[in-house]
Every structure is written in C-alpha cells, then in structure tokens.
Chains A and B, each alone.
Chain A
Amino acid sequence: MTAPLVSTPLERRHALSDPVQQLDRMLEIRHFEDRIKDLFGQGLIHGTTHTCQGQEAVSIGLALAARPTDHVCCTYRGHGHALALGMTPDSVLGEITGRVTGTIGGVGGSMHLSERSVGLMPTSAIVGAGIPIAAGAALTAQVLGQDHCAVALFGDGATNIGAFHEGLNLAAIWRLPVVFVCENNVYGEYSRFDTTTPVEDLAVRATSYGMPSEIVDGQVIGDVEASIGRALDRARAGDGPTLIECKTYRYSGHSRADAATYRPAGELDAWLERDPITLHRRSLVAAGVLDDAAADRLAADVHSRVEDCIERTMASEPAGVASMFRHVRSTSAPTKGN
C-alpha cells in the first residue's frame, strides 16, 4: 500500500490543462466507478450510488472551462464531476465508504461531495435543486461585483422539474452570470427521456427564457470545454445565462439497484462506439502526443493508483459517533473525539 498522492484538489485541477492528464483523469473516473460498483456488489459499501460511466468528457470539459473560483452545483451523480474538478480519489472514496478520510468525514456518502477550494458546492440528492442554487451563487457575484460565475450541472430528467423553470427564469430576468449545463444522458432514473419529455432537444427550452443555448457533443472534451467557455465569457461580460445541452449517455443504470434492462437492444453498443475515453486517447495518439504503448502504461498506472486508494481507504477508520453531531448548526462545534 502506498501513501496517498500529495496533490491538493487545486493542483489536480490545474494539472488538467495537460491533455495527457485529461486522459489520465478520465481513466481514473472510469476505473474508480467500475471498482465502486464491484465494492457495492461485494457488500463492502453501504447504501446506494449513481455512476457516470460514459459521461466523463463532460466532467473534464467543465473542469477545464470553469475557474476554481467559479461556483459549481452538481448532482448525486457526482463522482466524475468531483474528481475532474479536483477532489482527490481518497476524499471521494472515503466519503462513499463512510470513513474519516472522506471529504466531510464520511457522514454524507456518495451523493454528498464538496470541495470549496475548487468551487464544488455540496452536491444535491434532489433532482433540479442545484439550478436555483447556482442562480443564487451567481447573484452573489453580481451583488458584490465579483468576477465569479456559477455553473449548474443536471440531467435531462431535471428539465421537467419546476426548479429548472424557476431557476432559468430568475437567472434570465436578472441576467445572472450562470451557465446551465444539461447532461442529456438519455435516461431520467429508469425512464428513457422521450417517454417523459415532448421535445427531442432540451436546448430548445432556453427560448422560453430568451436565453442563448447550444447543443454539444458530450463525448468530446474540447467541444464541451469550448461551449461552456463561450457561455462563461458571456456571463462574465454581463450578458447573462446560457443553457447548454451535452448529448451523452449513461452506460449504467440509474443507481446500483438498476440493471438497466429497459434499454433497446444495440443502444449501449452504439454509444460505446463513441466512448469518450477511446475518442480522447485516439486523438492523442493521432496527434503524436503519446503512442499506444504509453497510453496502455498510463491506464495501468491509473488502475494501480485507484487500487492503492481503495486499499488505503478500506484500512482507514470508520466515521466516529462524534462526527454525526458536527456541523449541524453554528453552535455545534465538537468538543471531543472524532
């Protein structure tokens, strides 16, 4: 078992400017989540989890476009966002496994990740809740005259909840510096989005708010980064919010309880043809940035890093009783123990 990498979340964030690191991080997210599913399967993790395999390019594109000082509101399907934005695998896995090493000491679990140093606000387990909250974070920047923006990440399912309408409307009338990024991964919980949503492109909903929108290939890092980057530029210039729809795909079911048997035959295979990690690796090899052997070595390194993280985490201390009494309210500072 090796010691954890000493990189801080902010260092991990800055490292992403290197395209090879982008591949490294996508592999990290993928393998991390594959192993999370294994650990759940083995009964080593309690509760539930929601994985984002297939959507890694959106997370990386977001992390590249946003500044660490921007406020990002993500969801319960947040491992990818969190790792991309800079959270360390140890703090994410520690949280998922209820260990003291977790980002909030293990009392939150898989759905509640946060890291203020890179702008990741507490992820919410309520569909759509982050949308008005992101508008509010943008309001702070507007009122205090700061240069910060806010970004809300949410799925296709969230575009049918009231918070989406109210949040986008409020952001539009107040011209708030916020970007709404919808990861259309085709499924809202167990339902294909065409059975719950009467339009094919969710981006069209922006017209209701007089708001610009873009549709992006969510499997390509550069496309996502460029689109969110343009929207952030507009927001910082005082031109208000944007809705971005990233077309992507969720390889797994909604949560660990869902085997996703409802998918039409061939759908998953078609999306696997456009796997974001494969696409990025190919582009790096084609550009001569690294060859196949180097890419394989990178993947092997990432795997062993994640395995080390798992080993360290499973050997670390479970959250103590005192931790559940902490941070409930301002006067609940702990007086003893962990």
Chain B
Amino acid sequence: MKLRMRQAIARAIADEMRVDPTVIVMGEDIAAAEGPFKTSEGLLEEFGPLRVRDTPISEMGFTGAAVGAAATGLKPIVEIMFVEFLGVALDMVVTEAAKLRYLSGGSYTAPLVVRASVGAGLGFGAQHSQTLETWMYACPGLKLVVPSGAASAYGLVRSAIRDEDPVIVLEPRVLYAEREETVVGEEGIIPLGVANLVTTGADVTIVALGQTVGTAVAAAKGAGWTADIIDLRTLVPWDRERVCESVERTGRLVLVEESPYSGGWGTEIAAHIAGESFHALRAPVVRFTCPDVPVPYPAHLEQRYLPSADDVRAGIDELIAGGRRPRPWWEKEGYAS
C-alpha cells in the first residue's frame, strides 16, 4: 500500500504493540497530539495512556527512564522531536544504554528504540536541521538505522523494536510526508545490517543514506554512466559485504552524505573499502557531503548546503573522465571550509 513515511512509522509501532504487550511509547506530545510530525497517529486511542505516554520536556529524564524500563522488562520507544534534543540525554544513550549489557555480563540488556527526526530541507535552521549520526556511530553497543522512505521506515522500525540492543532510528524529517509503496506485515520487516541495492550498474557504486538516496537516484537519471546505488539503511553495523561486493564489480566508490565533510559517516566506509578492496579501485574514492558549516536557514542556501543531484552527476562525470577526485563545490568556488 502507498503510505507516507510518518504513517509507515506509526503503523510499524502499532503492529509491534499489538503482538508485544511490553512495547511502550514515550515522548513530547506523542500521545494526545499524536506527535509533532504525526508519527504516532492512533496509538493513544488503540493502546491507552499506560503504554502511550506524553512526557515533560525532559529528554534526559524520559530517555533515562526508557533505559531503566528496558533493563527490567519493557521495550520502550522514545521519540526525540529533533535529534539535537538528544544532546541533553546523550549520557543515557551512549554511556548507560550502550554499556548496560557489557557492564552486567549480559544479565541486563537495554532493548530500547530511540527515534529522532533529523536533517535539513524544511527551514528549521542551524539548531534543528542536523543529522548528528556521528554522535552515536562510534559507540560500541548501539545500533543505528536511517530510513530513506516509508518502506524502509516500516521495516527498520519493526526490526529496531524487536532487537535486543538499543537501536537509534534517525528519520529524515523531509521524508515524513513523502508517499512510497510499502509492504506491511511480517513481509515488510527489514533486518538490521542489510543494505538495499536500489539500482544496479557497471561504472560506479554510490552509497547513500536517508534523504541522499533520493539524491543519488536523481543524479543517476539520464547520466552517461550506470551505478549500483546502495541504500545503506543501517549505519551500525553497516553492510560491508554488500558494499565490498559492489565496489569489486564497479571499481569506483562514491559516498553521498548529509553531514559536514569532516568526520562524516562516509569516512568509515571510504577507509574500509580503500583497505579491503584497494585492488579493485580504478579511481579515488569520492565523498559528496555538506560543507563544514552550520545548516543555513534560507531555502536557497539550505539546498546549496545539501549535496545536490547535479553536483553528484557532474562529479561522477569528472571522476570517470579524468580519474581524479572532483573538488567539492565550495572549494571550487573559493570558500575554504
């Protein structure tokens, strides 16, 4: 069925809540108001206030409560309205939830899900538009997924709830309203750690995540080359096998990332592939990212900030023609950042 991504998320949560009475949902305005982005539509009505809870504006408090609840028998889902708000609760995720299994020799676990809306594109400005996966992607004990539309949101959220470890779900806010054909029910569940090969091609492997999957697909449309476009879906643990296998066939790796250039998630993949599949590479690895600046507010600058399909297409043209890494647009235009 065709669902908006926000509907797919609400549906995934409801489907899990029906089969597992230990699943509860907590967050700011998620019960009576059904979520600021309407990702919990219908949950309060169906499951009642014991399991669907509005919280105070108190991320550390309710994320911490989710850790304690997860350790003692519930499977809590916490909604963080904007991922930036996780800053005040990061201890509970990175230092408590992620370490609970390790620090109890496996006698306690923290099967909780932290969902947060992320990303640029809707004009929310510098403090409400980051993706911030880098806050969490280098923390053993956590898993981290990023859907690219309704279908992957449904499948990944259901897997995240079922998982025995703490799972962070970063949901590109700009996609909440987008419709996509979505398989629901057991068949729609997507295992964590498995990337999706969106298109197959011969010349280049493009690895994308979240809203940059759409950017990659748009870039390949009508291009003079064909690409394996891989929607990573799970960033931790990422699907090394799928990416390696693809690069070994195409010989070129391109990453399209919605995050600042320095330290972005693509660095991990680039480094791994450069080491593991060096023999197969016939061109340098290229990362299309955002510049190292805060997210600007005006619509035209926000779009310039994000990697664009045009930049990716032209950059890959240049890579294939010249065998050299195309410089980022901000360098070409003289902005040293």
Nearest residue in A to B21 (C-beta to C-beta)? A144
Which residue in A108, A116, A143, A170 is a CB contact (below 8 Å) of B55?
A170
| 30 pairs, A vs B, C-beta closer than 8 Å | A71-B72, A73-B68, A107-B102, A108-B103, A121-B71, A122-B99, A126-B91, A126-B96, A132-B60, A133-B65, A133-B68, A134-B68, A135-B61, A136-B64, A136-B66, A139-B24, A141-B72, A142-B50, A143-B51, A143-B74, A150-B68, A163-B64, A165-B61, A167-B65, A170-B56, A170-B61, A170-B62, A329-B140, A330-B109, A330-B164
**Mask for A124-137, Cβ within 8 A of B = 1, else 0?**
10100101111111
B190 to chain A, nearest CB (A): 17
Q: Which chain A residues have a beta carbon within 8 Å of chain B's beta carbons?
A: 71, 73, 103-105, 107-108, 112, 114, 116, 121-122, 124, 126, 129, 131-144, 148, 150, 162-163, 165-167, 169-170, 173-174, 326-330
Contact of A132 with B92 at beta-carbon distance under 8 Å, contacts A169-B58, A330-B164 already known? yes
Residue-wise interface mask of B (75-100) relative to A, using a CB-CB cutoff of 8 A (1 in contact, 0 not): 01000000000001001100110011
Q: Does B143 contact A (CB under 8 A)?
A: yes
| A114 B104 Cβ-Cβ under 8 A | yes
> Which of A114, A144, A165 interacts with B74 by CB under 8 Å?
A144
B residues adjacent to A (C-beta < 8 A): 22, 24, 50-51, 53, 55-56, 58, 60-74, 76, 88, 91-92, 95-96, 99-109, 140-141, 143, 163-165
Interface contact tally, CB-CB below 8 A: 150
Residue of A nearest to B58 (CB): A166
A163 to B69, CA, bound (A): 16
Partner of A136, one of B51, B70, B91, B102: B70
Q: Are B102 and A170 touching (Cβ within 8 A)?
A: no
Q: How long is the Cα–Cα vector from A131 to B91 in the complex, in angstroms?
A: 13
CB distance from A261 to the nearest CB of B (A): 31
> Are A114 and B107 in contact (CB-based, < 8 A)?
yes
The residue in chain B whose Cβ has the minimal distance to the Cβ of A324 is B102
Instruction: Tell me which residues across on chain B come within 8 A of A138, comparing CB atoms.
Output: 68
Min distance, Cβ A11 to any Cβ of chain B, angstroms: 18
> Contact between B64 and A132 (Cβ–Cβ < 8 Å)?
yes
Q: Which residues of chain B come closer than 8 Å to A104, judged between CB atoms? A: 102-105
- From residue A76, how far is it (CB to closest CB) to chain B in Å? 11
User: Counting chain A CB atoms within 10 Å of each CB, which of B24, B95, B107 scores highest?
Assistant: B107
Closest residue on chain A to residue B22 by CB atoms: A144
If A326-B105, A329-B143, A330-B165 are given as contacts, then 20 extra A-B residue pairs at C-beta distance below 8 Å, sorted by A number, are: A104-B104, A108-B102, A114-B103, A114-B108, A116-B107, A129-B64, A132-B65, A133-B65, A134-B68, A136-B64, A136-B66, A136-B67, A140-B72, A140-B74, A143-B22, A143-B24, A166-B58, A329-B141, A330-B163, A330-B164
Which chain B residue shows the least CB distance to A123? B103
Within 8 Å CB of B92, what residues of A? 129, 132-133
B97's nearest neighbour on chain A, judged by CB, is A133
